[in-house]
Amino acid sequence: MRAAHTAWPGGAVLDAIGKPSGSLEKWREMASMLFAEDCEMQAIMLLSSFAAPLMSLHPSSRSALVQWVKDEPGSGSGTALMAAQTVWGKPDGLTVPASLSVPAKRQAIDDLDRLPVTLGELDRTDPLFRDMTLRYLVENEGGHPTIGFAIRRGEGGMRKWDRGYVVSLKGQIPYTVSKEDPDKMSWILVANRGCAGKAFIDAIQNPRRLYLYMRDLCESLIGSKREQYPQGAYWWSAVNAAIQIVLAAEILEFDPKRIQPIIKRLAGLGREK
């Protein structure tokens, strides 16, 4: 088992990001639209991107898979995914194409290390190859735990892996957000990519304290007698820690009280109030 809080990526993540482009202010203006009322699912996908490198602070964590179940165009899944990817860099640089062989997919996941991994075209991938890729991701056989993203069509659920966790999102982007030209939003997000991720990493001065915060969150809900928490607790605590960081560093502005109960419910740790 890895020792807690010793695997903090720090500069390694920044090296993988590359040089940020544009400005944090312009990225924030577009990304903040995803925190409009009734847009909580899109916001949770974005916050999960910030939480991805924090998963490695949990010594017994496995990767989480955040999937968007898409019934029709216009749900806002593509916009939310674009915002989540541009936290760290170019969207194509964070995507594992479906066309790759299984060994190549595994290598691509390893190369991204603790950055969020987008699995492309899951629905069009051979089920056997898809399962092999998902198992490699959620059981983090290649290295450190992270968070993966996938967009699926229809209601078909993703099975929960023995030691992994799947978070399913589904929503519709409200008019207050969708009235903005999606192409314009995407262009601005991509043009100002990587700035938010750099600001996030720079804001973390004490990884050990961050680990203790996430551990205390788990213990406050579940208790300290368990050797390993339910997998949903790791994702839940990492997203909550990410919320504290992005608010303190003024990377995003929003009311966390509206989102936190939903995160808890999605993690399988309680009902939304």
Q: How many CB atoms lie within 10 A of CB 159?
A: 9
Question: Which sequence spans correspond to the domains of the chain?
Answer: 11-266
Q: What is the pLDDT of residue 178?
A: 61
Return the pLDDT at 163. 47
pLDDT value for 162: 42
Q: Give average pLDDT by consecutive 10-residue segment, the chain, 273 residues.
A: 45 66 92 88 94 86 83 77 91 85 87 86 71 80 82 61 68 70 83 92 86 87 66 89 95 93 84 41
Half-sphere exposure of 256 (CA within 13 A, CB side): 14
Model pLDDT, residue 6: 42
> Which residues, in sequence order, are bridge partners of residue 69?
152
pLDDT given at position 267: 86
Would you list the DSSP string of the chain?
A: -PPTTS---THHHHHHH-S--S-HHHHHHHHGGGGSTT-HHHHHHHHHHHHGGGGGGSTT---EEEEEEESSTTSSHHHHHHHHHHTTS-GGGGEE-TTS-HHHHHHHHHHHTTS-EEETTGGGS-HHHHHHHHHHHHTTTTSS--EEEEEEESSPPPPPPTT-EEEEE-----HHHHTS-HHHHHHHHHHTTTHHHHHHHHH---HHHHHHHHHHHHHHHH-S--SS--HHHHHHHHHHHHHHHHHHTTS----GGGTHHHHHHHTTSS---
CA–CA separation, 249 and 242 (whole Å): 11
d(CA 264, CA 18) in angstroms, rounded, equals 33
Q: What is the pLDDT of residue 29?
A: 92
What does the pLDDT read at residue 1?
Answer: 30
Q: pTM for this one?
A: 0.89
Give the number of other Cβ atoms within 10 Å of residue 97's Cβ. Answer: 14
